[in-house]
Amino acid sequence: MADKVVLTCTECLSRNYTTQKNKKTNTQRLEIKKYCPKCGKHTLHKETK
């Protein structure tokens, strides 16, 4: 039941990471602090459609 989701940097809006998410247990969008190679620092990454 896990679906692929794309994580986008909130500062530079580049799509850096893909991950899996169980949509039955997690109905809200993911927000993870990860390293952005374009910005060169750790930023908040949010799930996109």
**Could you give the CA distance from residue 16 to residue 26 in angstroms, rounded to a whole number?**
21
- pLDDT value of position 34: 96
- pLDDT value of position 1: 75
Residues of the domain holding 23? 2-48
- pLDDT value of position 49: 80
pLDDT tens digits, residue range 1-49?
A: 789 999 999 999 999 999 999 989 988 999 999 999 999 999 999 999 8
Task: State how far the alpha carbon of 20 is from the alpha carbons of 3, 11, 39, 46, in Å.
Answer: 5, 22, 24, 13
- pLDDT value of position 2: 86
- Closest C-alpha among 26, 34, 43, 17 to residue 5: 17
Q: What CATH number corresponds to the domain at position 14?
A: 2.20.28.120
Domain count, the chain: 1
Give this prediction's pTM: 0.84
